[in-house]
Structure 1
Amino acid sequence: MDEGILLLRVLLGLVLLVHAVQKSLGWFQGLGLTVMAGAFESLGLRPGRPMVLMASITEALAAVSLLLGRLTPLGAAAAFLLAAVAALLFLWLVLRRSPAARPG
């Protein structure tokens, strides 16, 4: 059981870390800070650059927390909240653009 939890923590930590550096640094075929800032702004998250930095730093800290096994509940909560914001933003965009969601 302990090995399974360790494996889950390490895998999730690595995924989060790679995703964070893709957003901010452009590593691993990521878009990088400048392009992501434009993407965030097009989604209504303004100003884009600080929002990308805040999301990337939070995601990287959550990843390090999970990888090291320190403050794991806090890291897991941060990762969950980032994912929840992304999911809610996506849902809002889909409903806003959906013909069924428009009045009349």
Structure 2
Amino acid sequence: MMDIGLLIIRLVIGLTFVGHSLQKLFGWFGGAGIAETGKWIESLGIKPGGKYWAIYAGVFELVGGILFAAGYLTWLGAALIDIIMIDAIVTVHGKNGYWAQNGGYEYNFVLIAVTIGVALIGPGQYSLFYQAH
């Protein structure tokens, strides 16, 4: 059952990050696309190059999400996701405190904990990188 639980966690988190990347990079799923995401990033005071930061974030989310969902180089997928979440805390949510209802970093923190936990445990049997212990 643990392997099924790890698969569910990896798929939900990994594919959610893939979806977020497609929003940033291509404007899919109601996303803003690179140009608008870049403008938003610059509105946070991250200048110049908001468009480039949007691309970097989208690629980190895409690669991190795919690796994490697949259970291949899970530690690297988790690290890429966590870099994005730490950036979100530092640039957007941190100033609002912990709780999500106040715009805080609660959700980002939970995602970091889960991805680190899975990376430490391993991806489980239903992955592209399963190794019996």
State the TM-score, normalizing by the size of structure 2: 0.67
Higher RCO (CA 8 Å, separation ≥ 6 residues) = 2
Quote the sequence identity (%): 32
Match of 1:8 in 2: 9
Question: After superposition, what is the alpha-carbon deviation per residue over 1:57-86, rounded to whole angstroms, capped at 9, x for unaligned?
Answer: 011000110122110011111101211110
| Letter of the structure 1 residue corresponding to residue 28 of structure 2 | W
Instruction: Using the TM superposition, give the Cα deviation of residue 94 of structure 1 relative to its aligned residue in structure 2, in angstroms.
Output: 5.1
Match of 1:35 in 2: 36
Using the alignment, how far apart are the partners of 1:39 and 1:32 within structure 2? Answer: 11
Does residue 78 of structure 2 align to residue 76 of structure 1? yes
Q: 2:63 aligns with which of 61, 68, 81?
A: 61
> Structure 2, unaligned stretches of length 5 or more?
98-133
More helix by share: 1
Question: After superposition, what is the alpha-carbon deviation per residue over 1:39-71, rounded to whole angstroms, capped at 9, x for unaligned?
Answer: 011112221111000010011000110122110
| Letter of the structure 2 residue corresponding to residue 89 of structure 1 | T
* SS class of match (2:28): coil
Match of 2:113 in 1: none
Question: After superposition, what is the alpha-carbon deviation per residue over 1:3-27, rounded to whole angstroms, capped at 9, x for unaligned?
Answer: 0001100111110000111111100
Using the alignment, how far apart are the partners of 1:69 and 1:80 within structure 2? Answer: 16
Match of 1:99 in 2: none
Does residue 98 of structure 2 align to residue 88 of structure 1? no
Q: Residue 68 and residue 93 in structure 1: after superposition, are their counterparts in 2 closer, same or farther (change >3 A)? A: same
Aligned residues: 95
| Letter of the structure 1 residue corresponding to residue 32 of structure 2 | L
Instruction: Using the TM superposition, give the Cα deviation of residue 35 of structure 1 relative to its aligned residue in structure 2, in angstroms.
Output: 0.8
> Structure 1, unaligned stretches of length 5 or more?
96-104
Using the alignment, how far apart are the partners of 1:8 and 1:94 within structure 2? Answer: 27
